[in-house]
Amino acid sequence: MKKNVIISWSSGKDSALTLERLQKDPNYNVVGLYTSYVKHEVPFQATPLYVLDLQAQLLRLPLIKIELPEIFPSNDLYQSTIVKALKQSHLTIDAVAFGDMFCNGIAEYRRSYIEPAGWECVFPLMGEETKQLANEINERGIQTLVVTVDRDVLSEEFCGRWFNNTLISELPISIDPCGENGEFHTLVTHTESFQGHLELKLTHIERGERFSYQRYTAKRLPNNLL
């Protein structure tokens, strides 16, 4: 019997690859997405909530939006807020999936609050070579735009560019091909699972103290306008 799984959805490429793998996994049935946000945006990606809604509509999946008081609340507050929201979602959940790639203790952290709630923790990408995962993302046709760059480690010129083989080849050798150390973050505009695509109008780059953000407006378009 398939397990009902909900996916931690950041709006970026790792979440999209996790979704596509699980949708083809005979052991799981994807029943929804959830995301946490602060002040109407997903942290790090800086994705506006209305864009998350558009992605969920394209995927035809329910999206559970969980508000946090700040980007880094205490572990106890973060964990209890996530678990409470998922339990109140009215979805039947057997497992929670994450797009983490590195075996750096994050799996143990996630299990520490997911498993006591009675759910399995699933990591479809964990421990795989990130260069291969980056190639798989492009081979699957997952279209993503680099929307955040950490200027401490990567040039702002990468902000607002498409995540493709050309961009990957131009990344400095010190940068993970998937940005798994937080060097950059992405927004998915199209994937096989989307019933249509996001059309973006790039407006300007916003410069914070450390991070640069590609700002844009977005709308949902059907497949016949791809």
Q: Is residue 8 a contact partner of residue 15, using CB atoms and an 8 Å limit?
A: yes
Give the per-residue SS3 of 22-51: HHCCCCEEEEEEEEEEECCEECCCCEEHHH
Q: Give the integer Cα–Cα distance in Å for 55 and 190.
A: 9
Quick one: pLDDT at residue 224? 60
Return the pLDDT at 103. 85
pLDDT reading at 39 higher than 80 = yes
As its CATH architecture, domain 3-122 has 3-Layer(aba) Sandwich (3.40)
pLDDT band at 86 (very low <50, low <70, confident <90, very high): very high
pLDDT > 90: percent of the chain: 96
pLDDT band at 104 (very low <50, low <70, confident <90, very high): confident
- pLDDT for position 223: 72
- pLDDT band at 222; cut points 50, 70, 90: confident
Mean pLDDT of 130-149: 98
| Of residues 47, 29, 30, 27, the one with CA closest to residue 38 | 47
Residue 225 is predicted with a pLDDT of 55
Q: Give the whole-angstrom CA distance, residue 28 versus residue 2.
A: 5
Q: What is the pLDDT of residue 152?
A: 98
User: Which region, left, alpha or beta, applies to residue 13 given φ > 0 means left and ψ of -120 to 50 means alpha?
Assistant: alpha
Q: Where in the chain is the domain with CATH 3.40.50.620?
A: 3-122
Of the listed ranges 7-21, 146-160, 212-226, the least confidently predicted one is: 212-226
pLDDT of residue 22: 98
